[in-house]
Amino acid sequence: MTALKQTPLNASHRALGAKMVDFGGWDMPVNYGSQIDEHHQVRNDCGMFDVSHMRVVDVRGDGVRAFLRYLLANNVDKLALPGKALYSAMLNEQGGVIDDLIVYFMRESWFRIVVNAGTADNDIEWMKQQASQHAPQLDITDHPELAMIAVQGTNARAKVWEALPGSRELSAHLIPFSAVEMGSMFIARTGYTGEDGFEIMLPAKAAPFFWSTLAEKGVKPIGLGARDTLRLEAGMNLYGHDMNESISPLEAGMAWTVDLKSPRDFIGKAALLAHPPTRKLVGLVLLDRGVMRDHQKVQTAHGAGEITSGSFSPTLQKSIALARVPNAVTIGDTVQVEIRDKLLNASVVKYPFARNGKSLL
């Protein structure tokens, strides 16, 4: 049996009494007590997450932009200002999603990419394989020596500025989806909760001290459980649930991240054009009592569908879900979800469900 991988904050989580679970081969905190309280803490104030299992990959050299133009479905030509970030899918030749990621433009010879933990090794291998064929001059280096802490919520930025002297002057001007370097740290105004805040990359050896400093300023630790309900309320995809290597981004609610308008070619483009989507991702709110979960079947007037992510929403006090359904299903339709051998009614809604502490429905 393979030992679980640990982030540099593992001892910190255990000292706080976190409930630890196996998350894709990593020993991670699912909660530190009440998952519901942690969820509300982020929506109403702020909290901090250990996301050090995510992988930071730097692509450097002449021609990085041209290579990423071909590698990614979104168009890095949108990145003109240093520090600006872009959300994109990285596709295979069949148009399936290898991973969803964030790419930061730092300078013409350096782009930084943050990839998901569970797909990191495959992602890096794919990038290097493509570079060997199309841009052998590039250097692709991942940074396991970096930790990552996300501070999210209405008061997140103010708390980080308190905990990190000098950070306010550098990061106060950052617009959402942009980043700045601060010595050996990298501060990005990004997140996975639908709230404002920062994701901060820093040397692993400095992570426990920064974590405890944030705690001293009143920032509460938040586990993976609340992270999942927060991202679901915000209508954000989870890799392996809402999309994977067999699912087109056009059927995963990610059409806005796929640039099919510019003449450039990219991996998977031909497949996307040859196979227009027949399904789409929609939001569901359960009208009956129960909780929607992943993989439950959805019956619609236009054919079958399936829930890709489902849970109880602490903000809405109802069960919500993302579901892949036939294209003909529209907002306002009532569909049936199979829950414990019963057909329960759910309303089709536009997601996100909640952001900035409030319901959007």
Q: Report domain 278-359's class.
A: mainly beta
User: Which H or E element spans position 12?
Assistant: helix 10-15
| Secondary structure of residue 129 in the 3-state scheme | helix
Q: Which amino acid is at 1?
A: M
Report the pLDDT value the prediction gives residue 357, as an integer from 0 to 100. 78
Residues of the chain with CATH 3.30.1360.120: 1-275
Q: Where in the chain is the domain with CATH 2.40.30.110?
A: 278-359
Neighbours of 161 (CB within 10 A): 18
For each of the chain's 361 residues, which pLDDT tens digit applies?
A: 789 999 999 999 999 999 999 998 999 999 999 999 999 999 999 999 999 999 999 999 999 999 999 999 999 999 999 999 999 999 999 999 999 999 999 999 999 999 999 999 999 999 999 999 999 999 999 999 999 999 999 999 999 999 999 999 999 999 999 999 999 999 999 999 999 999 999 999 999 999 999 999 999 999 999 999 999 999 999 999 999 999 999 999 999 999 999 999 999 999 999 999 999 999 999 999 999 999 999 999 999 999 999 999 999 999 999 999 999 999 999 999 999 999 999 999 999 999 877 899 8
**What is the topology classification, in CATH, of domain 1-275?**
Gyrase A; domain 2 (3.30.1360)
Question: Own/partner pairs for 167-175, CB < 8 Å, 24+ apart?
Answer: 171/198, 174/83
Sign of CA dihedral 109, 110, 116, 122: positive
What residues contact 250, with CB distance under 8 A and at least 6 apart? 95, 258, 272, 276, 277
Name residue, tokens 């469900």.
353
Q: Contact at 8 Å (CB) between 194 and 228? A: no
The pTM (predicted TM-score) of the whole model is 0.96
Residue 356 confidence (pLDDT): 79
